[in-house]
Amino acid sequence: MRCLLPLVVVVYILGSNGAPAYAQEQPSAALRQADAAYREGVAALNRNDLKAAQLKFEGVVRLAPAAEQGHSALGAVLIRERQWAAGTRELEKALSIKPDDNAARLNLAMVYSETGAAAKAVPLFARLKTEAGTEHPLGAITLAAYARSLAGIGETRSAIAEMREAVDKESGNAELHDELGTLYAQERDWPRAEQEFTAAIRLKDDFARAHLHLGFVFTAEQKPGAIQEWKQAYAAAPNDAALVLAVGKALGDAQDDAEAVPILEHAVEFEPESTGARYQLALVLQRVNRVPDAIKLLKQVVDAEPRNYEALTNLGMALAQEHNAAEGIPFLKRATALNAQNAIAHQDLAAAYIQINQVDDAVGELRTAIKLSPESPQLHYDLGTAYKLQDDAVDAIPELEKAEKLNPSGYEAPYVLGLLYMQVARYAEAAQQLEISLKLHPQNGEGWATLGSVYNKLDRLPEAVTALREALRQMPDQADSHLILASVLVKQQDTAGAAQERKVAADLMRQHMNLQRAEVATNSGKSLLESGKLDDAITQFRDALSFDPGYAEAHLKLAEALQKQGKAAEAAAERAKADALASQTK
């Protein structure tokens, strides 16, 4: 709550009907007591003794209930003591008795402004300004309160005019510059907002709120410097819980997760019960792959706010990230029940269903999502992919075509379309879609291999060779691409080249088979080692290395078994071989 104006209390001598005493020659005893109490109340105010002043003015109201002066003075004191409801009632009573009591009007306008009753405050401020005229203009604090009230009823442009006048009266007041900047920001007048926030910081370099606001303006203007401003805001007010949370959220929204995490952790330390702080921290932790920590926080948020559909959605997806979609689905279903018109919630639920192979359910959720957001390319792509998982090319193809049309710069939809067209023997269309996808995203070895195969089907042999060689450049250990290339070279009557490709493919397949044998033998040896059967384990590890001498894990486990037999030198030799193999792969 902002500080109100100094108390506005006018000193009167009360008469028999509540009018000043000069209007009555012989006031009653009660009015004389009220007059004395009023004067004593004013004296108490001069000593800043609000409690004594309150007691005296309460006496005035009791002795002279028809005198607006007592209600006005008592209301002002009660407001200063933050007894808002009681103070407001007294000021309203004063104005009902005497509508031209400007002291009561000013105090009441201020309290309306401070307590959020902007619609009640605005007409009072307007009348005060009109009656003040140019001879006795309103002060900067009153004008600022008027501006806030205007903003509260959506009259932002009028609010700017009043706040501008307040700033002109007190140009050295950093807080007023910040408030004016905030009003300009609400109107998306970024240059003027930046100017005012900069002025506030120039007047008060450690003004945390102005640094925070300037960072938001820089973001809106797509200028550099936002993150630096937020960091300065945090440095200036590290113990302001609300500001710390705002800074952490801003950094998180800017994807500066490294900076956001410690600040949001600080915010949670400040207010452990704050669901807002825990939720914002959870979102960032989810992105930096601290998913278990995020899940813990999100569960706390959902327990505190069971109808928070955004938190429910993020909890469900976090569980899915941890390959626990079965636990996440109930949370996602709750989210869609609470906000059935949210297409993203249905999309996330569909993704979880796919993870547990409930593709029919996923299709149903995606259809619902598309009804809500029919122009979303991602939703059409997801539905097309779901149909593909069901081997339903007839329904998949139109969805993927729609996704491609809605997002021509996306490479995923044409790639999957190419695969589907190939499956249904529409080779020319498959080639066209794969070409589109690979032009947008050339780092796709599988895509080049598929395109090479399609070109081979179409007898576009030179293009097939080019595509397959690119696939092998990206994935040199793929035996299938060597075999397809060999078949293309045969068609080109390059028998020597074809024989070489077949030989390479045979070697790769033999290596792959030997690797599989080595893995099986090593796993068997590990089980024997755990059972204490050292000799049998060593036999398995040596068998594994006979299949694939370059299998590092077999060397390491053999070293472990030899060490247990007391053969330290042999063990050290095996570890050295494993280290050498590891260094070769770096």
pLDDT in tens, 140-150: 999 999 999 99
The phi, psi pair for 426, rounded to 5°, reads -100, 70
585 in a domain, yes or no? yes
pTM for the full predicted model? 0.70
Using alpha carbons, select from 14, 20, 19, 17 the residue that is nearest to residue 41. 14
Buried b (16+ CB within 10 A) or exposed e, 190-206: bebbbbbbebbbebbee
In a domain, 524, yes or no: yes
How many percent of the chain have pLDDT more than 90?
69
pLDDT of residue 339 exceeding 70: yes
The parent domain of residue 515 ranges over: 502-586
pLDDT of residue 5: 42
Which pLDDT belongs to residue 442?
Answer: 97
Contact of 193 with 160, CB cutoff 8 Å? no
Instruction: Let me know if residue 35 belongs to a domain.
Output: no
Whether residue 209 is contained in a domain is answered as: no
Q: What is the pLDDT of residues 237-293, one digit of tens each?
A: 999 999 999 999 999 999 999 999 999 999 999 888 889 999 999 999 999 999 999
SS3 state at 345: helix
Domain count along the chain: 1
CATH number at residue 543: 1.25.40.10
Domain annotation covers residue 312: no
295 is a domain residue: no
Helix (H, G, I), strand (E, B) or coil at 20: strand
pLDDT score for 343: 93
| Amino acid, single-letter form, for residue 253 | D
The pLDDT tens digits of the residues spanning 441-490 come to: 999 999 999 999 999 999 999 999 999 999 999 999 889 999 999 999 99
Spatial contact of 232 and 200, defined as CB atoms under 8 Å apart = no
The predicted-structure confidence for 76-125, as pLDDT tens digits, reads as follows 899 888 898 999 999 999 999 998 888 888 989 999 998 889 999 999 99
Q: Is residue 527 part of a domain?
A: yes
Has residue 99 been placed in a domain? Answer: no
The residues near 488 (Cβ < 8 Å, ≥ 6 apart) are 452, 456, 461, 464, 465, 468
Nearest CA-CA partner of 139 in 175, 177, 106: 106
